[in-house]
Amino acid sequence: MLKVQLIAHTPEPEKVVAAAAKLCYSGASLDDLMAGLTPESSRRFVRMLADLGHESPTEHASFTFAIEGVSRSLLAQITRHRIASFSVQSQRYVRLEDFDYVTPPALEGRPDLEEGYRQAMEEEAAHYKKLADLLKEGHARRLMEEGLEEKEAHKKAEKMAIEDARFVLPNACETKMMVTMNARSLNNFFRLRCCRRAQWEIRALAEEMLRLVYPVAPALFEKAGPGCVAGPCPEGKMCCGETEAVRARYKALKGEEDQ
């Protein structure tokens, strides 16, 4: 099951961004940058930057998430976001026998499909285990013949074996990761991945991440969400046709009004 935690962020993120704005637009000395910045004045600076379309100062505030219960399919999507840092559980070092896997919601309530899916996952796990065991056996034998001591040979053989056995693991296989993004990149991520055009899994993750960062820095994420939250739907003929419902959903998520 999807689990997301905001494990760290720049302390006083809006104040830091406001200080960057102050540096750009006033004659404030370094000693004065943080002085006199209250939460209210910081928010005014952040909103001023948003109105000007001056986004780079928001790069000074970073947010780090721990994420688990997501698929390798999601991993392929989220790592396309280049302005971010990732640490991902390794399939080269961690043996994934009896791996956990993500089931698409479309299968729920469809016992015929659910059963086939479960069987496919079990078969993948069995193939993985068999491959890993056979490969390990072969590698260990060869390494010992080459003169490596038994314990060391088995340790090395295990890593070599799971490195290749993982090729049979499915996209559904669960993974965990740590992700750090700055506020500018996060806003871009939310714009693309909260949109109904994004796949359900990464959309659910993006929404959860927004739910976590919004209370920490409401002005920085005031317009966060799919493109239609901040203006007209940018998707043209791909528009979902439910713009008002989507806007209401994100207002509710930010506690602005009931859905």
Ligand X SMILES: Cc1cc2nc3c(=O)[nH]c(=O)nc-3n(C[C@H](O)[C@H](O)[C@H](O)COP(=O)(O)OP(=O)(O)OC[C@H]3O[C@@H](n4cnc5c(N)ncnc54)[C@H](O)[C@@H]3O)c2cc1C
The residues annotated as belonging to the active site are 193
Residues touching ligand X, count (CB under 6 A): 10
Among 47, 54, 60, 81, binds ligand X (CB under 6 A): 81
Determine if 192 is a binding residue for ligand X (CB under 6 A): yes
Residue whose pair of structure tokens reads 């799919």 in the numeric block? 226
| Lookup: tokens for 218 | 């409401």
For the stretch 37-69, what's the b/e string if a residue is b when 16 or more beta carbons lie within 10 angstroms of its beta carbon? beeeebbebbbebbeeeeeebbebbbbbbebeb
Among 169, 198, 205, 209, binds ligand X (CB under 6 A): 198
Edge-to-edge strands, sheet with 62-71: 3-9, 62-71, 174-182, 85-88
Among 31, 40, 53, 82, binds ligand X (CB under 6 A): 82
Residue 51 contacts by C-beta under 8 Å, 6 or more apart in sequence?
none
Which stretch, 11-19, 54-62, 105-113, 192-200, contacts ligand X (CB under 6 A)? Answer: 192-200
| Lookup: tokens for 77 | 């999507």
Provide, rounded to whole angstroms, the least separation between the CB of residue 186 and ligand X.
10
Closer CB to ligand X, 74 or 96, in the complex: 74
Is residue 178 within 8 A of residue 67, CB to CB? The reply is: yes
Closer CB to ligand X, 173 or 192, in the complex: 192
Determine if 80 is a binding residue for ligand X (CB under 6 A): yes
Is residue 92 within 8 A of residue 159, CB to CB? The reply is: yes
Provide, rounded to whole angstroms, the least separation between the CB of residue 11 and ligand X.
24
Residues 147-186 that bind ligand X (CB under 6 A): 185
Which residues lie near ligand X (CB under 6 A)? 80-83, 185, 188, 192-193, 197-198
